Structures are given as structure tokens and as C-alpha cells.
Structure 1
């Protein structure tokens, strides 16, 4: 099913792993039990003491004091510190008590760094037991978060925190497997890793593992957080991070085979790898250990037996391991990635793509290809399988191939041709391409594909729409079939697509593409009569704005005249006020002739600026609307910032027909292209405007 490739399936896969089979293989701590391991050898369950009544009464009174009335900050700090002193020797039973643990969290948040570090050093010997308890894990994480906050606020505490962190790391690695494989301990271990990096725990997008974020990175819709992290190397305690990771993965002390297939320890290992991104030497040591290298097999792929290589291929079908392998491929140094592709995964890509879990590993492998040679190798196996992949419900693999070809600027045309061939018969018209990609599930699961028609009222396929958005970012010569197909849609189909969140982004991607203005206006005309109702949709206002940008004066007048009757309704929506200002609806209603004059002035200013600073164009493209000519990526964002200022100045305070005056500095002549300081300043302004606002609209829309 196509749904198997979505994030919802992935979550479903996790739930399935916790079913009957998972119960048979894991102990109460979450650790996988070896078939040859005797249960009597396992560490006995830790039995905590109950809190004595007198201590329970004391902390109940403390809770009333710090939560019941307003207290001065200094007095509150003193109370928290004194209360923490009373926990000495009783940390485990207090932290694991459901009621008192909440009070303990409040105390740890309100105390000084000295009291905080004293508490952690006192309970260090039992920190693992606290971390693996349902209530205790919250206490442990609160303590670590408080440490991180103190670290950010006061550099003078660095040495004290480092000493405390060192004590915790040394104690927790005494028995790391049980902690990592425990559902509560896993969270605490990750927090400990984050603290070694020196960031506020959980506050950075770098730590995000949301499927939507990962998908956006793989499809070039946003840059990877790891790319920026590789350049920073801001770890406050790099030695502690390396020590913790090396002890967690010491083959002589821990069972690596257990760690890589357990869902909780896999999350810990993924976090560790991400934090080590950019540290090649550490990664070159850690990743082979995770892949099963040992002293006996040596440190190179040539030492591995065929059975060991096959073991890796079989493990990628395990849910936890596949997640881990995705991260390995993302952070692996170039040499190691090349070895994985050529020695492990080559000749197995299609088989892996067929698997409901393995296909995510293929997506990661494709998305992080480093060179044209890598893309060539991948294409040889998957380039002729687009139709098979779509029929199996694996559009994510196709989308990743398309995005990788675009990023590496190789095989782009071949990808477009292969996709088009996958959704239509050999002699069939290309008009059907876009509609079938928009409804991938509906088309490929149809029993009568020959008579398949646009399904009214059906939500458009998320990955299908993302694939088309990628398509329309490619050079014009590669996507002629897709341009013809989208402009061949019926009027009602274009309207329905514009009302669907995914479909609307496809329409916008086409209007932003390097297709000719003639083709874009052909699509815009199909929406005539519906701009008013479309503008009040959550994402419709963006589509209307794009339509307005590529339209001539006559079409713009039509768009605004249709929006005017819904002006009051638009004011109540989130994007409505912006759209009304952008289109100058109020000015249109007040004086149509002046509105037309302002639009003409803006157009003149756009064309003059573009002629001065834009790239050289062909005669055909010079006749196009300036706003429509955004296909040159190196200039697009700069021009966007400039266009915004032109709109603002000509709408507020500049007289009609003054576009050329706008481009001139007061007291000087018109800007010259070569050797002119004003020109360089203006171009610099456009760049700055882009940095500050280029992603604002995308952020609002997300």
C-alpha cells in the first residue's frame, strides 16, 4: 500500500513491534534476551525502599510551602536547597515515589547549581535505577535540564558541572545496556548525551526526528540541521561525549547485537551519531562497531564474511535497526558511505525497496548520495523500476531519487522521463501525467486503469504532490510533458487542486517554475470566477497571490474584482489582511484608474530593475512578466527582496509612473550596471532582505 510509505505507517510499524513477538523477546527492563542466555544470570530487579512516614510528611509540608504561596526568589532558593539536603541517602526512594517525585522536580528547578550538583553526586551510584523508574526518570531529566540551563546562564559553573557530569557518566556506563534498552532510561541517556553537547535539552531543531522534518530534508525542501552542526562543533564537554559513546559501544563490555535491534537503545544510538556528525575519526570508529566489525574480522570491509554482510541486509528489515541505519547513512564520512553502498547494499536496492521497513533505508541511502558515481550506481538498479515502486506503494523511494538527482544535478531528465512513463501507457497522451501523480493511490489501486478518471472529493496524495513540486523546480527543457499536462487540466480540476493543501502547492510550484508566462496564464484563466472563494481557503490566499504575480493588467483587474466582495470575510482570516494589502484591494475600490496606474508603475520598476541587475535572457523570456521570470535560482531570492521594497514604496507614498525614479538615489542619475557603488548597495540590500524574510511566507504556510 502507498500508505505504507508514509509516516503514519512508520508509527504503525512501531506499534506492531510491541505486540506478542516483542513481549516474548524482551525482559521487563526492555533488554532483549539472547536465546542462549539463562534468565538466572540476569541482574536481579532493583527493589527500592518505601519512604518513611516522617520523611513523607516533611516533603508534603515543603510542597505546600513552595507551591501554595508567592515566595521571594532568594527565599525560595534557600528553601529548595535546604530541602534537597534532607534527601541525602534517600534519593532513590524519594525520586521513585509518584507523589514526592513531583516535589523533588520543583526543588531541582528552584535550587542553586551547588545544591543541584550536590544532589546528583550524592545519588550517582543509584542514578541508573532512578533513570529506569517511571517517576524517577522525570526527576533525572529535570535535574539534567536544570544543569543545562545553569550552563547556558553562567560560565563560571562550567568546571563544577563538568565534574558532576563526569561522575554521572562513569556511573551510568557501569551497566549501559539495561539503561539504554529501558523505555524510561532511554530518555535520560539521550538527555545526558545532549548535555554533553552543551545545548538546552530538547530545544534545538537539530534534535527533531519528526517524519515531516526528515521528509522535508530528504526532498530538498529544507536544509539538514546536521549540516550546520558539522560546522559548529560547539560541544561544551567533547571529551565526556566521546567517553560516554565509547563506553556505551565497548564490544568487550556490551552486547552490540542487542543494542542495534532494541527500539529504545536504537534511539540513544541515533542521538549519539547525530551529535558526532562532522567528527570523522569518532564516526569511523563507532559506525563499524555498530555494523558488527570486531577484532577478529579486522577494520575493513574486505575482512567481513559474506554471511556478515547478509546479516546487515537482513537487519535493515528490523524496525529499530532500519532507523539506526538511516542515521548512519546520513552522518557517515564519505569513504564509509561509499563502502556501504558498494560493498553492502549494491545489487540489493530494489529488494530492500520492496520491504515496508527496508525502503526507508533506501530513501536515506539515495538522499545522502555524495557524488555522480553514487547516483549512477543507484540509478542502474532503480532507474527502470519506477512503475514497480509506485505499484508497491513506495513513492518515497521515487521522490528521494528525484530530489537527489536535482541536488547532484545528474540524471534529472532521466528521472522525469521514467516517472512520466510509469504513470501512462506508451502511446497514451501526456495530459494524464499530473492528475495520476496527484492521486497515486487512487490510480495504482484502480482495477480498471484504462478507464480511470479524476476522483472528485478525494484528498490528493501527499508524496505525489511533493514529487510534482520537485519536478517544477527543474529546468524547463526537462519538464515539457508536465507543463503540457498541468495546463491540460479541466477548469474544475484546477479549482479542486487549488483547494487541496497538497494540490495548491503544486499549482504554486508551477507558477514559480521557469515555464513561460503564456503557459502560466493559461492555467490562471481556468480559475477565473473562483478567486474570491479560493482566497478565503487557508492556503488559497497564497495561490491567489501567485496567480496575481504572473498575470497581466487585465487578469489582475479580474482577480481583484472577484476578491472585493469577500473583503470583510478575508479580514477575519490569517493571511487575508496581507493579501488585501498585496493586491491593493482598497485602492482598487477607491479609484480604479489610479490602481491601474500604480500597477503599471510597479511593472515598469520591476522590468527596469531586472534589466539592470537580472541575468541576461532570451528575447522570448524578456517579453514575460518580471514576476514570472524566477527560474534563475541564483538571483531569485535577491529579486524577491527587491520586489518587496518596490511594492511597499510604490503602494505607500510614491506617485504613479515613478518607478524609474525609485531606482535612482536622490540627487544622482539612474543606476549604472558597471562600477556603480549605488548598484552594489542596492544588490546588497536585496540579499539582506532575503536573509531576513525569504522563509517567512513558507513558515507561515507550514
Structure 2
């Protein structure tokens, strides 16, 4: 058992001496807190007077009263234009350093239980009173401070933050102190699970936010302070601290959503469970920061770290259209008077905004603005800011990303027409400049809105293929779009063996193959005319394999899909050993007829030992039932035939009239007809595979009843339990009727005998 309290760690601070330098460090608030309490009970009893309103303990957890005081505190806060005087960082004295090193060693020994750790943390934080800035910004001791803030109780945590509230912005802007500040914020978020401490945490955050507002521009534009401030905004919103995907979304994820490759994750509350936050405090913090920085908005527009804070603010306010219609014009440099009159974007600021979009920081900011802007403001941005500047911005290394975001958030055909009129006829120029992302966004949006589809397909063909070229060169040139357009003699360009497929070229083709078959005939002809060796190289490439899969998922005829699959014959084992191309093998299997499936599985049988050791191997071996084929090929063929029969039966029963009349070669060969219900098809596929494996007919057990079965049950679908109940009830009623019949017959017989 480790001894705690005064016996374990002797206090080095007896009476707080207040000198002029101590006042500068903020010790004037804390002189009455000299000496440590001996145990947690004493600390808890005396917390009320340490920087808090003594009556706050009698308030309920709703925090209504504290919210009213928050307004007053923010009203009285200092102007951002007059930052506080710099703090003089004093060196930590050797005795204090030794004390905190002892604590660090004690925690490192793992001999302290949870309760003892909490008490030690509280005692140590009281030792830090008046020295918070020096300790938090010390490279070594700051790590110990983080451990203390993670292990203390909520009252000690709030007392510490109240004590250093006026120093918090400067701690947050320090390389080491920023980690301490962020740890404190995350610890507060963890304590919010307890309703009883809500008002206590709210008071603490109010004190911190007041100081942040007074120094907002400095904190926002500081590389360390920006990160702390974003964490504080998330806490006020109620976003869990471990929602890293909310805080830092990967650019690849954003791109996939824009190109319809991945369903959008964020809408309204960004798809996350929002905990109880501090909405009024968040509103006051944001308004105070933006109001103070209004005259310095140009700094925020071009500053990398300030832009990140503004982006976070905008994302947290998704759905709050009234606030966004005032914040966004302010960020664009519009006057507040015009915004109040409903003129959100003034013509006078348009040239500046267009130039700003050529800056890295503002280009990122504009992407978020376009993502969250209310519809009326979005329309003004299109017609006033982007119109007549789309090709200019699309040609710029930074500005083109703003154009991609604009195109990806178009909602109506007339908006698409406006964009198409400026850049639709210049697709080749954009590709030659390396702006393939704009082209990909244009194609994906036309597919999503189902407008300008034919124009997009034809324009892309003209961009990569002249009238004298064979159509079979279309797909290879898009796959290696950078190499083709950077080639000096394009007439002599050939398939670059050994080169990596261009990511954006792959994404463009994936979008193209989601079009209707009648629109993409040149692309289908091109990919099915590629040489066998070239198809194999594409399938081996991580980006190229996705193009093969996109073609197999398209509406192209089944025989053309099998023609492409035949080009990979003899190499399925090689492809299955690679993580990315193993998915292609599975797709090829799904869209093959029986003979091709048997050929694919035969190639995997020889490699099943090596394949089972890979990450993707066990799934592929199980999905294709390679072991079953190796041990009992006849039974495997029978099972495949049964599965194919079930697919056809499902297709005939539930397929559309068009699909019923068409000649199909198995359900899997034409499952693109069910692309509107992918979840239903997936569930159905799993049901069929399960029941064909168990030997039970699919339609008999899966709940899909034919018409005669439904009629017998009055059009209802019964579960196994309900059917058992109905059967037993039926038996009971039948036996009752039989007994009644026998009884009536006996009675009638008796009457006849008496009568005779």
C-alpha cells in the first residue's frame, strides 16, 4: 500500500507570497488557496469558494443560471484587437521540479491504485497553483501534468482550469502547453457523462472561453493554439473526443464521396452521436471570436491555422442556416449592413474572392463553405462568384479544388448547365493541364443528377481519341491519363507496361461505367478489345483492378463481361495472392458461367495453402468453396447448379418485366438489373448460399413464398413458431370437432333405438 497525503509527498509551498511578477502570472486569484488539504473530503468541502459562485452548488444540472451569467461575462470581455500582455515564463525551481519528478516516478511504478492516484493527482495540482504556466510549458514536467489531469477528479480539474484561465490562451499556444491544454479539455469531456457536474464544467468553460475570445486571433493563427481551440469547439458542440473521423477526414474519403464511389457520411449532425454539449456557450464563443476578428478577416482567410478553425466552426454549424448566412458573407469580406438587408454576396468583393481561391488556405475554406452553405447562399455563390470565372479557377493549382467542390454539390439541372457552358467544351484543355479532378467531378455529378450524361461521355471520348484513332485506345489512355497528355508525340503513344494506373483516371472510368449501356458503347468496346497482357497488368494494379470491377458491375452484356474475364484465364491464382486484385477474382467468379467458375477455382486449388496464409485468402477460399471443389468436385458442381437454379427462380419471380423477357445466363451474370436494391440482393445471395450449402431449397425456407402458399395462409408470411402454434391449434380444433361429431352420432343412435 502506498502512503498518500502529506506523509508521502511533502508540500514545498507554505504561504503564497504575492509579488509583482506573481501578479503577472495570475497568482492574485489564488493567494487564499495556500496549503494542501489532507484528503479528498476536505478538498471537496472547500471547492465552492475557489473561483466559483458559492451558490452554484444549489443549482440544477440544466445550467440555466450559469448560462445567464455567461452572457454577462462575454459582454464584459476585452476586445480582440488589444491582446493581453505577454506572460514572462519563469524557470521552475529545483525543489518543485524534484517534487513532480517524484510523482512521475511514482506513477511509473504501477504501485498506485485508482483511488490513491486520484488523491495524489488532486494534491499535486494544488501544488501547481500559481505555477501552472511554467509547469505546463516545461518540456519534461508537462508530461506529468497531463497524467495528473487525466487522473484527477472533476473538481480538481475544474479548479486547476479556473486557476489558470487567464493563462490558458498562452498555455495553448505553447508547444508543450498545448498538449496539457488539450488533455484538460478531453478530461472535461469524459466527466460530462455525470449530469451532476454539468454546471461546474460549464462555469469552467465559460472562464476559459472568455479569455479565448479576448485573444482569439492570436490563438486561431497559432499552430498549437489552433488545434486546442478546435478541440474546445468540439467539446462545446458535444462531439465525443474520440470521434477522430469528424475531426480529421481524409482527403481520399472526401473525394470518394464527391465521385459517388462512397455514400456521404456527414449530414446535419455529421452522422455522429452528439453528446450533451453547451450550445449557448458555443454560440457565444463563435460570435465573440468572429466579431473580434472581423476587421482582421483577411488574415484568417489566408492563414493556414486560422482557416482550419473557421472550417471547424462551419462544420459544427451545419443545418443552422440563419447563422451560416451571416458567418459566410463575413468570411468573404462582405459588409454586415448588406448582409442584414439580404444581399449576401456583394459584387464589389467578387474579384477579391476569386483571387483568394487561388490561395491554399482559402481554397480549403471555400470547399467547406460550399459544403455547408444554405441553398439561397449557394445559388449566389454560383451566379456571382463562380460564373464567368469557372475555367480560370479550374486551371489554377489551388482554385480547381474549389471548382470540384462546387460541382460536387450541384443539385439542379440549370446549375449543371451553367457549369457545362463554361468548362464542358474544354475537357481536353483541363486534362492537358492536369486538372483531371474537375473532369471526374463533372462526370460523377452528371451521373448523379442524370443530366448531360451523353455530352460528358462524348466530350471525354473526343478529349482522348481523335476522329482517326481506333476506339480501343480510349480506356488505356484514360487509365494512364497523365502519361498520355504529357507525351510529346501522342500519335506514337502506346500502353506503358510496368507503369502504375493513374488514380484519377481510374476514378473517371469508374464513374463512366455507372452510365447506361447505350451511352458507353465506345468504352465497352475499348476495354474488351485490350490485349490479354494489358488486361492482366491493369487487374494487378490497385487502381486498375477497380476499373475492371466497375466494368463487371456495369450494365454491359454478360457475354462481353465474360470476354474480359477470359483474358485473365490462367492468372487467377496470381491475382488472388494480391490483396487488391483478390476482389477482382471474386467479381470475375460471380459474373462467370459454370465452366469459367470451375476454371477459376481450379487455379486456386494449387495455391490454397499459400493463399490461406494471406489476409484476404481465407475469405476467398471460403467464398469460392475451394476446399469443397478439391475434395468433392462433383458435389461442388451440384451445389453450384442448385445455387444457379435458385438465382434464376428468384429472378423469374421478382425480376422486372424487362429482365424477365431478356435472355439471361444466370442471376449473377445480370445482377446489375438489381443495382437499385443492393442490400436486398446481398441478403438474398447470402440466404441462397446458406440454404444451398445445407441442402434446403432456398425459396422454401427464406420466406419468399409463391402465390399458392400465400393464398393458403391468407396472404401472410408466418414464422416457424407461429406456424407451430397454428398447427397445434388446428389439431385441437380438429379433435374437438371429431369428439363433437362422435357424441352427436351416439346421441342420434340412442334416439333411433328408443324410437324403435
Q: Which band: TM-score by shorter chain?
A: 0.7 to 0.9
Q: Does the alignment pair 1:287 with 2:328?
A: yes
What is the rounded CA distance, in whole Å, between the counterparts of 2:356 and 2:97 in structure 1? 49
Query: Mapping of 1:666-677 within 5 angstroms?
Result: 676-677=715-716
* Kept in 2: contact 1:383–1:415 (CA 8 A): yes
Q: Structure 1 residue 210 and structure 2 residue 228: aligned?
A: no
Give, in angstroms, the shift of residue 254 of structure 1: 4.9
Q: Given the alignment of the two structures, is residue 501 of structure 1 paired with residue 542 of structure 2, yes or no?
A: yes
Residue 77 of structure 1, aligned match among 103, 118, 125: 118
| Aligned pair partner of 1:678 in 708, 717, 735 | 717
Alignment pair present for 1:650 and 2:689:
no
- Flag as ranges the 4+ runs of structure 1 deviating above 3 A: 40-46, 230-235, 251-254, 295-307, 618-622, 658-681
Contact 2:407/2:445 (CA < 8 Å) preserved in 1? Answer: yes
Query: Out of 370, 378, 399, which is 2:419 matched to?
Result: 378
**Partner of residue 46, structure 1:** 87
> 648, 656, 680: which is aligned to 1:638?
680
**Structure 2: 5+ residue runs without aligned partners?**
1-80, 721-756
The verdict on how the C-alpha distance between 1:672 and 1:363 changes in structure 2, with shifts beyond 3 A counting, is farther
Higher relative contact order (CA 8 A, sep 6+): 1
| TM-score calculated relative to the size of structure 1 | 0.87
Shift of residue 383, structure 1, vs aligned partner = 0.7
Residues 559-574 of structure 1: pairs in structure 2 closer than 5 A: 559-574=600-615
Correspondence for 2:529: 488
Is 2:322 aligned against 1:274?
A: no
Cα drift, residue 574 of structure 1: 1.0
Deviation at 1:343, TM superposition (A): 0.8
Aligned to 1:139: 180
C-alpha RMSD of matched pairs (Å):
2.5
Residue 661 of structure 1: CA displacement? 4.0
> 1:664–1:315: structure 2 CA closer, same or farther, 3 Å change rule?
closer
Q: Once the two structures are superposed, what CA deviation does each residue of 1:526-568 show, in whole Å capped at 9, x if it has no partner?
A: 1111111111111122111111111111111111111111111
Paired residues, number: 638
Structure-to-structure mapping, 1:55-134, within 5 angstroms: 55-134=96-175
Equivalent residue number for residue 207 of structure 2: 167
Cα distance per residue 1:569-605 (max 9 Å; x no partner): 1101111111111111111112222111110000011
The answer to whether the aligner puts 1:474 opposite 2:515 as a matched pair is yes
Task: After TM superposition, list the pairs within 5 Å mapping 1:205-354 onto structure 2.
Answer: 205-229=245-269, 236-250=277-291, 254-295=295-336, 297-299=338-340, 306-354=347-395
Task: Sort the Cα spacing of 1:531 and 1:116 in 2 relative to 1 into closer, same or farther, 3 A.
Answer: same
2-side partners of 1:594 and 1:525: how far apart? 25
User: What do the CA deviations read for 1:78-135 (whole angstroms, capped 9, x no partner)?
Assistant: 1111111111111111111111110000000011111111111111111011001111
CA contact (8 A) 1:329 1:365 kept: yes
Task: Indicate conservation of the 8 Å contact 2:329/2:345, yes or no.
Answer: no
1:397 is matched with which residue: 438, 441, 464?
438
- How far, CA to CA, are the matches of 2:703 and 2:408 in structure 1? 46
Alignment check: 8 A CA contact 1:316 1:325 kept: yes
Q: Name 2:8's counterpart in structure 1.
A: none
Is contact 2:236-2:277 (8 Å) kept? yes
- Could you tell me which runs of 5 or more consecutive residues in structure 1 were left unpaired when the two chains were aligned: 1-39, 682-702
* Alpha carbons of structure 1 residues 320 and 649: separation in structure 2 relative to 1, 3 Å: same
Distance 1:672 1:500, change over 3 A: farther
- In our comparison, the structure showing a higher alpha carbon Rg is 2
Structure 2 partner of 1:8: none
Q: Is 1:621–1:629's contact at 8 Å kept on the other side of the alignment?
A: no
Deviates more, 1:123-132 or 1:604-613: 604-613
Matches within 5 A, 1:336-485: 336-485=377-526
Q: Over residues 407-455 of structure 1, what are the superposed CA-to-partner deviations in whole Å (9 max), with x where a residue is unaligned?
A: 2221122211111111110232221111111001110011111111100
Residues 457 and 679 from structure 1, CA distance in 2 versus in 1: closer, same or farther, beyond 3 angstroms?
farther
